[in-house]
Amino acid sequence: MYSSRSNNASRREFLERSMLTTAAILAAQSRFSASAYAQDNFTPSVSPNEQIHVAVIGAGGRGQSHVGGFAGKSGTTVTHICDCDEKAGQKTCESVAEKQGGKKPVWVKDVRKLLEDKSINAVSIATPNHWHSLGAIWAVQAGKDVYVEKPVSHNVLEGRRLVQTARKYNRIVQTGTQSRSNPGMREAMEFIHSGGIGEVTVARGLCYKPRASIGAKGVYEVPKEVDFDLWSGPAPILPLTRPRFHYDWHWQYPYGNGDLGNQGIHQMDLCRWALNESRLCDRTFSLGGRLGYQDAGETANTQLVIHDYGKKQLSFEVRGLPTPDYKGAKVGIIVEGSKGYLVMTSYQSGTVFDLDGKPIKTFEGGSDAFHYKNFELAVRNRNHKLLNADVEEGHYSSALCHLGNISLQLGEIVDGGEVAAKLANIKGPSNVSEAWQRTAEHLKSNKVESYKIAVGPSLEIDSVAETFKGNEKANTMLTREYRKGYEIPSASGI
């Protein structure tokens, strides 16, 4: 990858600047006086010099990364593990003890019980998506600061409610889009926002991530260690229809949001950041389907989404079947400007090209550790503005995933050959027809030639009210039916 001496120098300067800023804030924190907490309408979750007691909620794959981020660190101790799967919970307690010199956390099965414990300052939530907003709202109401995985919500309305709750109780709520803390990514965004590639008109998110079939739809046994009532939480209690209990809920709508809300939310968030838009969009459109195999999954493995922001567009492509890259990226973003384009091929590295495709600048640097540290910094300083991925940013990006899925779910099912003709009304700089042509070729290369696919309506959005204009059916999909005892509070009830 191209990299000039001056680019390296400026990158170094940027990294140094980032570290100095962090150091300055950390120094300030040691001088931090208790009176600063007077601005809080609530008891502080931690005093500046204390260890932050963290409870990790959800000890699956991602919960282990949270443990890695908070256990055995100078400023944080993992004191509790909450999981409704006893095996996962107990096993994680053992591994945390090893990381913390024998300090073994307490396993708690029920999140409500956990939140009664006043010794806990912060919780980090790595449960399935359908629990994120509710778990975070309850935690905030119990006085905890929260690191909640992406997407912050399972639907648009509960995401907004979480933001309102965080503000009302003055808690620090960070979401798990960790790219936002990586110096390489931050430098790239600064470059774009300062006009480095001229006027930005299109940001393309790519989630080209092959996913195999999850196995036949059937009726399967819930693992005996799992309290399924707790696991289901706000969702209805349904028969288990997928072979693998953990993780594969991503591909079933009552719990997950497909790859848009799994891998895709990271790139959706980066695209919105690149476009400098802190709101939902004006219009959304999606097409797609689950193609190439039939299994227990319901969500699309092939999807296009266009979010319209007037002169700018956010275009998103999900490909779950094997595919080559596009302009060097598979899971990444491509930001197009009047003077060049940026291709970020990971959460922290990428290259700017001029309009002739010549590389002119590179960006590099970061790891998940930066994001966990950023959370700690904001918690100690009682200031959500220090967060790189505040809950409201998380809400907007999560909502963009949900909006795409709503258009898709309202789609008309047509033959693949009819799609091109249906796109005539979807106008704008991202050129949806070209994106569809590439998608159809991709399907063909996977021997998917005769298929049905959903083509959604182009939905107009009131981005202030966060509702659809003139589509009541779509509006009902901004929320869900909550199971008794697991309701999201109303705005006046938080």
Question: In the complex, what is the shortest distance from the CB of residue 53 to ligand NAD, in angstroms, rounded to a whole number?
Answer: 17
Give phi and psi for 351, each to the nearest 5: -140, 145
Q: For residues 32 and 247, which CB has a smaller minimum distance to ligand NAD in the complex?
A: 247
Sign of dihedral through CA atoms 365, 368, 369, 372?
positive
Asked whether 32 and 381 are in contact (CB, 8 A), the reply is yes
Question: In the complex, what is the shortest distance from the CB of residue 187 to ligand NAD, in angstroms, rounded to a whole number?
Answer: 20
Q: For residues 113 and 473, which CB has a smaller minimum distance to ligand NAD in the complex?
A: 113
Q: Which residue is nearest to ligand NAD (CB)?
A: 60
Q: Give the rounded distance of the alpha carbon of 262 from its chain centre.
A: 7
Question: In the complex, what is the shortest distance from the CB of residue 17 to ligand NAD, in angstroms, rounded to a whole number?
Answer: 25
Q: For residues 84 and 426, which CB has a smaller minimum distance to ligand NAD in the complex?
A: 84
Q: For residues 162 and 435, which CB has a smaller minimum distance to ligand NAD in the complex?
A: 162
Asked whether 391 and 286 are in contact (CB, 8 A), the reply is no
Question: In the complex, what is the shortest distance from the CB of residue 266 to ligand NAD, in angstroms, rounded to a whole number?
Answer: 7
Question: In the complex, what is the shortest distance from the CB of residue 82 to ligand NAD, in angstroms, rounded to a whole number?
Answer: 5
Question: In the complex, what is the shortest distance from the CB of residue 250 to ligand NAD, in angstroms, rounded to a whole number?
Answer: 7
**Burial status of residue 450 (CB atoms within 10 A of its CB: 0-12, 13-18, 19 or more):** exposed
Nearest alpha carbon to residue 175 among 378, 465, 479, 380: 378
Question: In the complex, what is the shortest distance from the CB of residue 262 to ligand NAD, in angstroms, rounded to a whole number?
Answer: 6
Question: In the complex, what is the shortest distance from the CB of residue 283 to ligand NAD, in angstroms, rounded to a whole number?
Answer: 27
Q: For residues 53 and 66, which CB has a smaller minimum distance to ligand NAD in the complex?
A: 66
3-state secondary structure of 455: strand
Asked whether 471 and 457 are in contact (CB, 8 A), the reply is yes
**Burial status of residue 415 (CB atoms within 10 A of its CB: 0-12, 13-18, 19 or more):** exposed
The DSSP letter of residue 389 is S
Residue in this structure with the two tokens 């991925």, named with its chain if needed: 389
User: Which are the contacts of 93, defined by CB distance < 8 A and separation ≥ 6?
Assistant: 81, 104, 105, 106, 107
User: Which are the contacts of 338, defined by CB distance < 8 A and separation ≥ 6?
Assistant: 197, 198, 199, 201
**Burial status of residue 129 (CB atoms within 10 A of its CB: 0-12, 13-18, 19 or more):** buried
Question: In the complex, what is the shortest distance from the CB of residue 207 to ligand NAD, in angstroms, rounded to a whole number?
Answer: 13
Helix locations, 31-131, DSSP H: 61-70, 86-99, 111-115
- 307 is written with which tokens? 């979010």
- 269 is written with which tokens? 């968030």
Question: In the complex, what is the shortest distance from the CB of residue 258 to ligand NAD, in angstroms, rounded to a whole number?
Answer: 11
Question: In the complex, what is the shortest distance from the CB of residue 429 to ligand NAD, in angstroms, rounded to a whole number?
Answer: 30
Q: For residues 220 and 247, which CB has a smaller minimum distance to ligand NAD in the complex?
A: 247
In whole angstroms, give the CA distance from residue 388 to residue 363: 18
Q: For residues 85 and 466, which CB has a smaller minimum distance to ligand NAD in the complex?
A: 85
List the 145-148 sheet strands across, edge first.
106-108, 76-82, 52-57, 122-125, 145-148, 173-175
User: Which are the contacts of 291, defined by CB distance < 8 A and separation ≥ 6?
Assistant: 301, 302, 321, 443, 448, 451, 453
Q: For residues 84 and 188, which CB has a smaller minimum distance to ligand NAD in the complex?
A: 84
Give contact residues for ligand NAD (rule: CB under 6 A): 57-63, 82-85, 88, 111, 126-129, 131, 149-150, 176, 178, 226, 230-231, 233, 246-247, 262
Q: For residues 63 and 196, which CB has a smaller minimum distance to ligand NAD in the complex?
A: 63
Q: For residues 37 and 228, which CB has a smaller minimum distance to ligand NAD in the complex?
A: 228
Question: In the complex, what is the shortest distance from the CB of residue 428 to ligand NAD, in angstroms, rounded to a whole number?
Answer: 29
In whole angstroms, give the CA distance from residue 126 to residue 105: 17
Beta strands in 116-248 (DSSP E): 122-125, 145-148, 173-175, 200-208
Q: For residues 246 and 373, which CB has a smaller minimum distance to ligand NAD in the complex?
A: 246
Q: For residues 176 and 288, which CB has a smaller minimum distance to ligand NAD in the complex?
A: 176
